[in-house]
Structure 1
Amino acid sequence: MEKNASDNTELETGKAHIIVEIIEYVPNAVVIKTIIKKSTGNISIMSFDSGEGLTEKTSPFDTFAQIIEGNAEIVIDHVSNHLKAGMGIIIPAHLPNYIKPNGRFKMIQTVIKSGYE
């Protein structure tokens, strides 16, 4: 069951942050907090409670996903990728992808919109 909670308040600039502490787990939910949002792309941090994932989608832009706590399974074009904290993967534009529920974890997602003009 996918439940999303979003916080579109960007982080304070010019100040150091402990990334894994920016966002907390919420029972039975996926929480998304925007770190920075620009016309050329955005960076978000996400927390996934146990049993929570994201349904299949296709993005018109390349996306970089980096696990910062726990581990996750990211499926890109029907190929499963198991990532643990410290690992990242580029999800190419225009390929179907989803995140399978695999315990609690946190990740940073960076979407690059430039280069597609």
Structure 2
Amino acid sequence: MDKPVLLKNIDFAQPLDLAGLVEYQPGQVVSRTLAQNNFLSLTLFAFDAGEGISAHTVPADALVQVFDGQAEVVIDGQVMNVAAGQVVAMPAGKPHALNARQRFKMVLTVVRPPQTVGL
């Protein structure tokens, strides 16, 4: 039986520069998914200045880790400015949005609750 591949789009067993795994593109939001399953999503993003993700709600907790630039994060109406080296936890069920105050890169980790089968 083959072992399932849980991480993708990344080289194994070698040091990598996280910032170099996703590149800025003019007028775009660029993403690179590293893991995606029913319980966890791990995605790198590069936002050009002025780009963003509009307000939305998901039934999962999420963690934004900024590793380059600055962004505005809005959670349930609360506006926060975050910069490289900072993290923001976004609770499940609360509307949230991201806007690039300048170009920025982040890792988004989304953690979903386990699904109960047969209940």
Normalised to the residue count of structure 2, the TM-score between the two structures is 0.85
| 1:10/1:37 contact within 8 Å kept | no
What is the aligned partner in structure 1 of residue 39 from structure 2? Answer: 40
Larger radius of gyration: 2
Amino acid at match of 2:54: T
What residue number does 2:91 align with?
92
Gaps of 5+ in 2: 1-7
Identity level (%):
29
Query: What SS is found at the alignment partner of 1:103?
Result: strand
Stretch moving more, 59-68 or 31-40:
31-40
Structure 1: 5+ residue stretches without partners = 1-8
Specify the SS of the correspondent of 1:20: helix
Aligned residue pairs total 109
CA distance in structure 2 between the aligned counterparts of 1:80 and 1:116, rounded to whole angstroms: 32
Q: Where in structure 2 are the equivalents of 1:65-84 lying within 5 Å? A: 65-84=64-83
